[in-house]
Amino acid sequence: MKTYQYKVKGVDYQVEIADVEGNIAKVNVNGIPFEVELQKPINAAKHPQMSTPKVAAPQPAPAPATTATTATATPAAAPAPAQGAGSAVKSPLPGTITDVKVQVGQHVNAGDVVLTLEAMKMQNNIEAEVSGNVTAVAVKPGDTVMEGAVLITIG
């Protein structure tokens, strides 16, 4: 496991790269597991796959985990992948889920508020971009999400 030390806006982060498969890196940031999608796969010879225990879907606790990256990584991890088919509603910025207003099977119209995301002390209403039935809810109140994380899937 490779370990790196980063300082972002005065906050220290310890980043451990546990596993790299294609363009997905499994990392621990200050002990919190994340799956990070890389913009392009990195050279596997530089980061050989290790036989470490596989981490289930990451469940990050609310913690300051702002952009802790390697030179080739871009954080875009979701706390859990959406299981439904359809159009994904993604997080426009990193933050904490404060309220989920829909459930699987519920019909929503384009423009309906589906959840509330707190970012930088502001409550942001996240709206459905398409009409349809909710096929998956990938987050719950209290979850911390990164920019681009799939929150809800509408089919």
Average pLDDT by stretches of 10, the chain with 155 residues? 78 82 82 80 54 45 48 43 70 93 93 92 92 92 91 92
pLDDT at 78: 41
Spatial neighbors of 90 by CB under 8 A, at least 6 apart, are: 148, 149, 150, 151
pLDDT at 46: 53
User: Residue 118: inside a domain, yes or no?
Assistant: yes
Q: Please tell me whether the overall predicted TM-score, pTM, comes out greater than 0.85 for this model.
A: no
pLDDT at 21: 82
Number of CB atoms found within 10 A of residue 154's CB: 26
What is the number of domains present in the chain? 2
Q: What DSSP string describes 24-91?
A: EEEEEETTEEEEEEBSSPPPTTTS----PPPP-S----S--------TTB-----SS---S-SEEEE-
User: Residue 65: inside a domain, yes or no?
Assistant: yes
Q: Identify which of 120, 114, 107, 101 has the alpha carbon closest to the alpha carbon of residue 155.
A: 107
Q: Domain limits at 123?
A: 87-154
pLDDT at 84: 56
pLDDT at 29: 83
User: Residue 80: inside a domain, yes or no?
Assistant: no
pLDDT at 126: 93
pLDDT at 80: 42
Tokens of 74: 């871009």
